[in-house]
Structure 1
Amino acid sequence: MTLQTEPRPTAESEPELVTSGAFDARQLVSSLPQAVRKLNPRDQARNPVMFVVFVGAAITTGLSIWHPSVFAWVVVAWLWFTVLFAGLAEAVAEGRGRAQADSLRKVKRDTVARVLNDDGSITQMPGSELSVGMRIVVEAGEVIAGDGDVVEGIATVDESAITGESAPVVRESGGDRSAVTGGTVVLSDRIVVAITTEPGETFVDRMIALVEGAARKKTPNEIALDILLTALTIIFLLAVVAVGPMQQFAGEAADPVKLIALLVCLIPTTIGALVSSIGIAGMDRLVQRNVLAMSGRAVEAAGDIDTLLMDKTGTITFGNRRATAFHPADGVTEAELADIAHLCSLADETPEGRSIVELAADRFSTALEDQGFSTALEGQGLSTALDDRGRSRDDYVAIPFTAQTRMSGVDVDGVEYRKGAADSVRAWVGTSRPEVDAIVDEIAGRGGTPLVVAQTGKILGVIELSDVVKPGMAARFAQLRAMGIRTVMVTGDNPLTAAAIAHQAGVDDFVAQATPEDKLTLIRKEQAAGRLVAMTGDGTNDAPALAQADVGLAMNTGTSAAKEAGNMVDLDSDPTKLIEVVGIGKQLLITRGALTTFSLANDLAKYFAILPALFSTVYPQLDALNVMRLHSAQSAIVSAVVFNALIIVALIPLSLRGVTYRAVAPARLLRRNLLIYGVGGVITPFIGIWLIDLLVRLLPGMG
């Protein structure tokens, strides 16, 4: 494994990394019934801050019945509105999840599955009765009855019901594109699927539970915030309890309704009411981008990521490396090199192997057209097929590629032919050729991938594979750098090729000649240094690293093992989406932090509204604190309570959309949020309470 570091350009702009989620004001109205249903002690007890408001509203209701007054009943009404609006925020967030769940339920169909028995016979049974390990046969036009892996055949599959993408995808046995999802439709050919999940635990079932919020648990950050809010609530509760005796000592009768109103206004009700909806909305934003998070904790971890590991092929580059040229060694013709390269690639089912066969056939069709072993090796013809030299399929021994040898090839009549990484082939041959080494360095230097071709004891030349960096990757990595995230490209290529691609893409570091064990080692090393790590993967060999990473984004096209190991699944199978996932995680954390700052800051204005109102008759000097010049003690208290309730409704859209996040330095982001939500949280209540007081003073009994 080779780790290198490249200096990178800085970001020249501050483009938005994550856009806000959608919000429709009609959602408030449609969610009111659900918010009313949340007005029960069991639901309220899950939120300590709002439970205090709930109990206070109940006590105030009883006091108002005992000693009715306009002031008391107005306070009662708005205390219940405060509790209702807190439930409304959560109901709106959950309602959006239920709408997505309803669309997913349409995917679930109780189909009849054709189970393939060990003796080759087929038994029909309902898809709901399938169990892990069963094999089902699915042909064109049929619905796949359960989640599983393709173990035989290849077919195009319509996954639009899951991903929203209308273009069909290819699913085939072996490799990293074998996983299929129940409810999707086979469009062509025939496949055999091994079921990997029990009924009720399918991918769609899990998606429905997650987007509805039924499977959502509080994250560590939410738990920590709950502890903070609970501590503040207890402190203010003790302070308000002490105010009553202070009033009596000063010669003024304590009014329990006023004290309860004071308590509700002083405790952090705003963030207490919105914290749940912020978490639900964060997961909802991921679902909108076709990413399924297995837990809210994974979303939050994405917001704290320090190191981002990304595969080169298919992530940073398009991944369609194709053979573009043959470079023979001295004394070898290009046609001879193409002949051997073609021979080494006939049993290679990778895209690179197929492209070598195609290039050889295109360039030298005359030399290769009579080789019947082509059909034999690919398994499409008779085992007795002969090549032009009179050999049959049995005379050819295909050597598959492995991560250890990093070579593949074929053995014929005691002669071994190999193609693979330059250092591996050189070690296999036991010698090197200067002109071939120069070609390898030249290809790698311009970002290509050299594959050296050799036969027993002799290096024959180089196949050039070319890949292309996706447009805009340098700008996206610059955004991540501005966020304080270190990007590492992981590739099995040689160091020269990796360096060229890394420089072109703009990543911070790269790991060349990486094995699955190297990925796992690197993740553990980063975590041991106290950093959070994210990575993408789609293969079974990626599963250990996906499980070890703090954020593991598995591709939906990948294997079941990869999807089980990761804590997120990208339904679109776009590895670069991990960049968006990081942005959404940061947006979630920033939204929660911004609204917490606003909630604590706007309590300041309530102090100036209610405290002078409680003691102004005993201590006229406190009237100097009445900077808003509120009309009376009663109108001041009512205005503060009304503002306290209305600000929750006003902030629901922001809690659902999220604070717009831009990739800027953390210190600059902190200054901006303190200015907007800290200073703004202080100023807004002064204006709001003063305006409400202008209306409240018109009510009878507020003089």
Structure 2
Amino acid sequence: MTYKYTITGMFCDGCRTKVEKTLNAMEGVEATVTLDPPIATISMQKPIQTTDFQEVLTAAGKYSIKVFNPNDLKLPVEEVAVELPKNAAGKYYCPMFCEGEKVYDDAGDCPVCGMDLVKAPDLDSAKLLFTCPMHPEIVEDHPGACPICGMDLVPMEPKDSEENKAYNELWSKMKIALLFTIPIFIISMSDMIPNNPLTKILDTQTWNWVQLVLSLPVVFYACWMFFVRAWKSILTWNLNMFTLIGIGSGVAFLFSLVGLFFPDIFPDEFKTHHGTVHLYFEATTVILTLVLLGQLLEAKAHSRTSGAIKELLKLAPTQATIVNDGVDKVISIHDIKKGDLLRVKPGDKIPVDGKITTGESTIDESMISGEPIPVDKKINDDVIAGTINGNKSFVMVAEKVGSETMLSQIVQMVNSASRSRAPIQKVADKIAKYFVPIVVLASIVTFIVWANFGPEPALVYGFINAIAVLIIACPCALGLATPMSVMVGVGKGAHSGVLIKNAEALENMNKVNVVIIDKTGTITEGKPSVEKVFSTQNNEAELLRNCASLNQYSEHPLAQAVVKFAKLKEIPLIEVNDFEAISGKGVIGTVSNDKVAFGNKSLMEQVGATVTTELENKIIAEQKLGKTVSYIAINSVALGFIAITDAIKPTSVAAIEELMRQGVEVIMLTGDNENTAKAVAQELNLSSFKAGCLPEDKLNEIKRLQAEGKIVAMAGDGINDAPALAQADIGIAMGTGTDVAIESAKITLVKGDLQGIVKAKNLSHAVMKNINQNLFFAFFYNVLGIPIAAGILYPFFGILLSPMIAALAMSFSSVSVIANALRLRNVKL
């Protein structure tokens, strides 16, 4: 019995191999698994339930299996964007995402590619500990006095990060490798000196034994991990960079051992004029040392690529000053609870999110918003954790603490996005799947060609060039090309107030050719204010009371503006029954036994309200001035209106102009009326807009544009924008908007400013350009390097590439990719 099943959760050939082995380990099962398409063809001796297959796959990883359906293949497996789970903080993952989102509890190397696992940053700022300068055995989690000597406790220095530990361990091994490799290299190269002075001390054979002894610490201690990884890769058939390094350097070392112990079995062309065999202890140790150098530099670079997250974590202070009964007390930030009153002194970092209750100040929010101009704050204004207070003191109430603060959410989003997998990575994945076998085959062909057609000593030339081919090839440069750029780019965006949910969004933003924008809160400030209340019966106060009472239950910015205006006029609000918010139209309810409706013309039509021509003309006149006008109907009769103004953000005009200059079509979709929308569009020089849009209208417009082949980005800030944000190729939420809108979006602009869309577009372009540079470098390096190592230049120029030079080039190829990615930190957005 043979059946087909669809497998989800596979992202590379390593995943495919693991799934196939897991299924074949089941009794009576023969399985063949393909990655593209992601199908398992399973032959079984007796019927097996799909749940049984699922049980063994769940134990192997986050894989799912179901009976094959042709519709499952509509989306290629490589299009899936991979990102680490939210609980990955503090755990280890492969920087090349060989096993998708899989993480490990302990440090080690990837079982697929062999690279060192990287630790995902802990997203909670470390708890600060205090100790006594005189009695270091005293350690407390809060400041105070030493119980022994009474001295003030001082903060303890933070321990080395995981990256520093890995780097320090590699550096220790590097020192050992250099200590023994340099003498081996000197001994070997001394043969090139006329009247070799070393042979006057010891004969050549004895020096060969010295080289063997000196090579042992390099091979079996400093660089032994490379052979372990190579052996593991062969056992699991997850061939990788270390497979090539292990085979190349291992063959050279074993050849040297056999040549030292059994020289008589080699033909004369392998021997020196002293009668000893040419040994390659220096090639082995130099190659391994250079590879170790590459790992060392890579570890250093990795710590820099995650620097954005570290810098964000540093923004959170470790202590805060709590105010209890008028008394100030310093506490740990981890001890703050909602509702606590906190004093923020001049120059202090704000500890948590909250509101100012006493005082006022100027706050530097540049680390969150990317804008360098300090913001004036007064009583009831929001303040954000990690921002820096100016030269005044104030008291705030804690509203969001721990993981609820905006800073914590930003760190979480940056961490997830920087470790997600972009669709462009599939190019490298497809090549990497066949890379190592092709290189091994090229090495064998190189030896055969040189042995049969090369000049004497042909076997020696063939042997050396075959090793050089193995050593110079570097699949890691291909694998690192995308994730390194994504990691640095996402961090750069976070520091500029552009939060990107995953790498797929970062890549697709570069392709966007249509941007749809909402009006209120997106183009405008989102802080509307009532400018006029008009009543046909000259009872504006009563009309305002009814409207404000109705709107007190609504979250809409226009509703809040009406309530605020009524409070300024000291008009008391009364109870409302049967309140209902009608999305895209307005609100209705019963106030003092009267049925009140407040909203746009569509709402008036829905409730059957009559509108006089005189009232309609007055409303149109207000709308042509760019004001938003809401009708007021009581018992199905329109009795007046409220005109509301919402200033256009100063940056909206410049941002829209820049987007259009870049060839992006900008369309405004608003629920407001035609006249108001037209006035705003004219001020912004927009060529396209649609008014009176309900949430489903925005959704359908996006679908229409997508059907035309357009790549659509949608920017919005309200609950009613959530469906459109989710439908768009790229949903962009204003950070000043609702949580629902932010959750539905793939990009969030912290400052809620259209200039952020320009920044996101520029960042995406810069990252994709950087990725393409990395991929070109990796492809070009291997396409050029392997033939040169094979000796293609020898017939024309007499040039051969030493395996040691090949090792140096291989080591620096990955480092070069990372160094190029780091240039993104200096990109101007």
TM-score over 0.5 for the alignment?
yes
Q: Map Cα deviations across residues 114-172 of structure 1 (whole Å, 9 max, x no partner).
A: 9xxxxxxxxxx999799xxxx9534454999999x99xx99999896983786487999
Q: Map Cα deviations across residues 545-591 of structure 1 (whole Å, 9 max, x no partner).
A: 54555544445555554444444444444464234223323322221
Gaps of 5+ in 2: 1-162, 174-222, 260-276, 324-330
The residue that corresponds to 1:656 in the other structure is: 822
The residue that corresponds to 1:466 in the other structure is: 645
Structure 1 residues 161-170 or 233-242, which shifts more? Answer: 161-170
1:103-252 equivalences under 5 Å are 104=313, 107=316, 136-139=338-341, 141=343, 163=368, 167=375, 208=411, 216-250=419-453, 252=458
Instruction: Answer yes or no: is 1:59 the counterpart of 2:250.
Output: yes
Q: Map Cα deviations across residues 600-657 of structure 1 (whole Å, 9 max, x no partner).
A: 335565467445467x4xxxxx31xx3xxxx64356x766664555565555443222
The residue that corresponds to 1:282 in the other structure is: 489
CA 1:356–1:203: 2 relative to 1, 3 Å: closer
Residue from 797, 800, 816 that aligns with 1:633: 800
Contact in 2 for aligned 1:145/1:182 (Cα 8 Å): yes
CA 1:217–1:450: 2 relative to 1, 3 Å: closer
Tell me by how many angstroms 1:277 deviates: 2.0
Report the count of equivalent residues. Answer: 568
Q: Distance in 2 between matches of 1:341 and 1:43?
A: 78
Q: Secondary structure at the match of 1:450?
A: strand
Q: Distance in 2 between matches of 1:90 and 1:410?
A: 64
Q: Distance in 1 between matches of 2:788 and 2:351?
A: 63
Instruction: Answer yes or no: is 1:447 the counterpart of 2:650.
Output: no
Tell me by how many angstroms 1:243 deviates: 1.9
CA 1:275–1:63: 2 relative to 1, 3 Å: farther
Contact in 2 for aligned 1:54/1:80 (Cα 8 Å): no
1:5-154 equivalences under 5 Å are 33=167, 36=170, 40=225, 50-55=241-246, 58-59=249-250, 62=253, 66=257, 73=282, 77=286, 80-81=289-290, 84-85=293-294, 88-89=297-298, 91-98=300-307, 100-101=309-310, 104=313, 107=316, 136-139=338-341, 141=343
Contact in 2 for aligned 1:474/1:507 (Cα 8 Å): no
Q: Which amino acid aligns with 1:583?
A: N
Residue from 313, 323, 345 that aligns with 2:530: 323
CA 1:155–1:422: 2 relative to 1, 3 Å: farther
Tell me by how many angstroms 1:493 deviates: 0.7
Q: Distance in 2 between matches of 1:156 and 1:43?
A: 60
Residue from 572, 590, 597 that aligns with 1:376: 572
Q: Which amino acid aligns with 1:59?
A: G
Contact in 1 for aligned 2:170/2:292 (Cα 8 Å): no
Contact in 2 for aligned 1:78/1:641 (Cα 8 Å): yes
1:287-686 equivalences under 5 Å are 287-325=494-532, 336=538, 338-339=540-541, 342-347=544-549, 348=551, 352=558, 374-377=570-573, 393=574, 397=576, 402-404=581-583, 406-408=585-587, 418-425=597-604, 428=607, 430-456=609-635, 458-471=637-650, 473-481=652-660, 485-507=664-686, 509-523=688-702, 533-574=712-753, 576-603=755-782, 605-606=784-785, 609-612=788-791, 616=794, 622-623=795-796, 626=797, 632-633=799-800, 642-643=808-809, 645-646=811-812, 649-650=815-816, 652-658=818-824
Tell me by how many angstroms 1:284 deviates: 1.6
State percent identity of aligned pairs: 21
The residue that corresponds to 2:468 in the other structure is: 261
Contact in 2 for aligned 1:448/1:497 (Cα 8 Å): yes
Contact in 2 for aligned 1:113/1:145 (Cα 8 Å): no
The residue that corresponds to 2:207 in the other structure is: none
Contact in 2 for aligned 1:487/1:509 (Cα 8 Å): yes
Q: Distance in 1 between matches of 2:623 and 2:302?
A: 51
Q: Distance in 2 between matches of 1:212 and 1:430?
A: 53
CA 1:564–1:240: 2 relative to 1, 3 Å: same
Tell me by how many angstroms 1:492 deviates: 1.6
Tell me by how many angstroms 1:455 deviates: 4.3
Q: Which amino acid aligns with 2:800?
A: A
Q: Map Cα deviations across residues 52-90 of structure 1 (whole Å, 9 max, x no partner).
A: 454356436625854797987368636753564366346
Q: Which amino acid aligns with 2:448?
A: P
Q: Distance in 1 between matches of 2:450 and 2:579?
A: 87
TM-score (norm 2): 0.54
Q: Distance in 2 between matches of 1:244 and 1:284?
A: 47
CA 1:420–1:63: 2 relative to 1, 3 Å: same
Tell me by how many angstroms 1:283 deviates: 1.8
Q: Distance in 1 between matches of 2:379 and 2:428?
A: 45
Q: Distance in 2 between matches of 1:62 and 1:308?
A: 61
CA 1:317–1:138: 2 relative to 1, 3 Å: same
Q: Secondary structure at the match of 2:610?
A: coil
RMSD of aligned Cα (Å): 5.5
CA 1:510–1:263: 2 relative to 1, 3 Å: farther
Gaps of 5+ in 1: 1-28, 115-124, 363-367, 369-373, 378-392, 617-621, 664-703
Q: Secondary structure at the match of 2:465?
A: helix
Q: Secondary structure at the match of 1:220?
A: coil
Q: Which amino acid aligns with 1:238?
A: L
CA 1:485–1:111: 2 relative to 1, 3 Å: same
Q: Distance in 2 between matches of 1:276 and 1:87?
A: 19
CA 1:210–1:311: 2 relative to 1, 3 Å: closer
Q: Secondary structure at the match of 2:572?
A: helix
TM-score (norm 1): 0.63
Q: Which amino acid aligns with 2:670?
A: T
Tell me by how many angstroms 1:476 deviates: 3.4
Q: Secondary structure at the match of 1:535?
A: strand
Q: Distance in 1 between matches of 2:704 and 2:309?
A: 39
Q: Secondary structure at the match of 1:501?
A: helix
Tell me by how many angstroms 1:261 deviates: 1.8
Q: Map Cα deviations across residues 434-493 of structure 1 (whole Å, 9 max, x no partner).
A: 343334344434433223344446544544333443345455345445656444433221
Contact in 2 for aligned 1:31/1:88 (Cα 8 Å): no
**Structure with bigger RCO (C-alpha 8 Å, 6+ apart):** 1
Tell me by how many angstroms 1:280 deviates: 1.6
The residue that corresponds to 2:215 in the other structure is: none
Q: Map Cα deviations across residues 182-236 of structure 1 (whole Å, 9 max, x no partner).
A: 9999x989879699xxx87987666556656898243433244222234344334
Q: Distance in 1 between matches of 2:515 and 2:497?
A: 20
Q: Distance in 1 between matches of 2:516 and 2:614?
A: 35
The residue that corresponds to 1:386 in the other structure is: none
Q: Secondary structure at the match of 1:313?
A: coil
CA 1:110–1:90: 2 relative to 1, 3 Å: same
